Structure 1
């Protein structure tokens, strides 16, 4: 497999489809928020926020199917092992569908437990529960699509990943509007729209990767014990890392819920902006995953340094641009999304914290990409556990500040994670050859 050139032009060419595709993800969240928010029902909006947190926590516990797949696929490609790249795709699909089916079977236990842990109040829970139940119908498809996306990103096939993302999000938006505004299904309609979109995306994704499913014929390689052990070893660390970060954001959401439906709804609106920033900057972080994975597969320290430097330049420039845009357009965006006066007022008061998120969060997001590409699961795991523990302590200490303390704690969590991952950087660098192999 041909090596990917390490130039600014090639980095941008690889990153822009991811950025466009990732932008559509929070845009769907914006549509969900607007569809419910324009009904004027603050409890329903807060219910979607709480339900999304629960679903994200459970589904993204299996986010290793995307992240681990990207790093291992990129490394196999960097080493020129085409047969292994195809086998990784099949393994990822099998694991995703299997775990997704397990979630469907266990939902009667998981959903009540989740609502016991997160305090939303009777009105909020009444909207959140049908949303979560509807989303679980899409669990197998959602997890299998994680694997397909990770595989495509590992190979640098970002335009194919973009096409898949656009299909899923367009279907999602269309069904959300139909189910909520036409059929008046409320939060449940939003959940059903997303579940249907996930199954549509899986069907399209399988068509895209069909020529590579030939690995099914090579059973010996596909279920090789050593390769399976590596798959689960890498992914176990990434799963722990993901759960730790999901706990962090669940704590963040629950902190807003403690202050009432108005604060939680305002937080949901502001998190749409945070989501857009994170997802767009993920365009360069995902590119870093692929490029770092290729460098590790080729055992090239020079390529690793250059990949991190080039993606880092783009990340910083984009983050600064987002700071300016949010500062100038944030209030107009809030007014567009919600009609409830109290929610608007609370969101506008907290907007200055959102302005700082792009710049403060960029180092953590970029370093995540670097260590995912290097399949540095242990570093990712330890950094996530440490930053989550420090975040919880910070949030508890800042509770007297109310909603402002909640957002200060979130900003601090990004700093903690970047510092923890940065501490592992010298060890990652020292493990590679200082020159490109001949």
Structure 2
């Protein structure tokens, strides 16, 4: 048997059969915000860029907060897939759709309150308020679609069908790019054009994703039933991951929200650099998706040694990708910033903080990989507890003590937060490692 890095070549191929499509699609995923940022960034006034940055931060906070839907679905479907339980996969999709549509309707109903409260909390410059408010109000109408897409991605990834999941992301970005060019460049709709482009892209993706999942698992509306006992377990797992996601997004939102107190140029520079962070996290998550699906399937088959094997091989690739990301940002970071915006003040400010971005992949890849392990094994309580501990002992004290450093303090707090996440997750994994199945 041929081996590479001590693992069978065939097993490397299996990891990348899942990971590579998701790495490609997840690197493309930030284009939903990146294209908006890049096109708006080339308009003559930085007010547009700052407004989109704040508006997108609020909407992303909500939708990324709801990523618990994707995570809980992936782990549960992966285990049902390993056990070859088709009825359970059908039931999980039904419960996922019900939850996504209900939460989406609630977000739309609360959209005026969400908009006003979030902008009060962020307290941006008064000249940004109108544009940011328009962007948020428009984007929130896509809530049912965005949450449904998360369920579809969870089902597809749990079944190791990452190629189809990749196409969902590609569709989102193609629609968004085309409409950005039409609405922003062609019709001169600036911020509102960016919001409408993203809205249409999210609804198109949800419709296609539902159709594909329905065919994949043979889902039929006439056979769909809500089973209260199973729905309660599904919601319990989602609740734990919700707390985890809320904590994470509050820390991430500080990078844009609190930076607003340092001026519009800092906000714009952080918006540009956060695109790097999205590339880091979603690229590393490509490997994490592989361990979610493979470890979850092995758990469903009740094979703990196989779970550990997939954990080891995916950890190797997570580390290699982190090194690659750091080298890429070190060598080409300035060029990437220039592609996003040509506003000289924003470019110069972003370059000041670029070293933080260069270091982040090496600091963060541990926690992203461990998230994948926890999701595949359905350790939602561990995800919740370790995230809370990292925020309480990492982000909050570092941010408070480094406030005199202003924006450098925010990046320091983020780095410390990522390190503490990895520490607490590793301790949890070592403690629970013998209870995998």
Q: What range describes the TM-score normalised by the shorter chain of this pair?
A: over 0.9
- Please give the alpha-carbon distance, in whole angstroms, between the structure 1 residues aligned to 2:125 and 2:193: 21
Partner in structure 2 of residue 224 of structure 1: 227
What does 1:31-110 align with in structure 2 at a 5 Å threshold? 31-110=35-114
Q: Does 1:147 align with 2:185?
A: no
Q: Does 1:412 align with 2:416?
A: yes
Whether the 8 Å CA contact 1:90–1:215 is kept in 2: the answer is no
Q: CA deviation at 1:213?
A: 4.9
Change (3 A) 1:354 1:214: closer
- Please give the alpha-carbon distance, in whole angstroms, between the structure 2 residues aligned to 1:369 and 1:432: 14
What does 1:254-293 align with in structure 2 at a 5 Å threshold? 254-293=257-296
Equivalent of 1:341 in 327, 340, 344: 344
1:389-437 C-alpha deviation (Å, 9 max, x unpaired): 230221111111122221111111100111111111024321135xxxx
Q: CA deviation at 1:215?
A: 5.1
Equivalent of 1:328 in 318, 326, 331: 331
When the two chains are superposed, the root-mean-square deviation of aligned CA atoms in Å is 1.5
Equivalent of 1:214 in 213, 219, 222: 219
Partner in structure 1 of residue 240 of structure 2: 237
Q: CA deviation at 1:223?
A: 2.2
Q: CA deviation at 1:30?
A: 2.2
Equivalent of 2:379 in 353, 376, 381: 376
Partner in structure 1 of residue 4 of structure 2: none
Q: CA deviation at 1:210?
A: 2.4
| Segment drifting more, 293-302 vs 152-161 | 293-302
Note the residue ranges of structure 1 that are not aligned, 5 or more in a row: 434-438
- Please give the alpha-carbon distance, in whole angstroms, between the structure 2 residues aligned to 1:244 and 1:170: 31
- Please give the alpha-carbon distance, in whole angstroms, between the structure 1 residues aligned to 2:252 and 2:386: 15
TM-score (norm 1): 0.94
Whether the 8 Å CA contact 1:40–1:339 is kept in 2: the answer is no
Partner in structure 2 of residue 172 of structure 1: 176
- Please give the alpha-carbon distance, in whole angstroms, between the structure 2 residues aligned to 1:69 and 1:36: 35
- Please give the alpha-carbon distance, in whole angstroms, between the structure 1 residues aligned to 2:201 and 2:270: 26
- Please give the alpha-carbon distance, in whole angstroms, between the structure 2 residues aligned to 1:391 and 1:332: 30
- Please give the alpha-carbon distance, in whole angstroms, between the structure 2 residues aligned to 1:432 and 1:39: 53
Q: CA deviation at 1:385?
A: 1.4
Whether the 8 Å CA contact 2:32–2:172 is kept in 1: the answer is no
TM-score (norm 2): 0.94
Q: CA deviation at 1:47?
A: 1.1
Which stretches of structure 1, 4 residues or more, deviate above 4 A after TM superposition?
A: none
Note the residue ranges of structure 2 that are not aligned, 5 or more in a row: 1-8
How many residues are treated as equivalent by the alignment?
A: 427
Q: CA deviation at 1:177?
A: 1.7
- Please give the alpha-carbon distance, in whole angstroms, between the structure 2 residues aligned to 1:105 and 1:300: 46
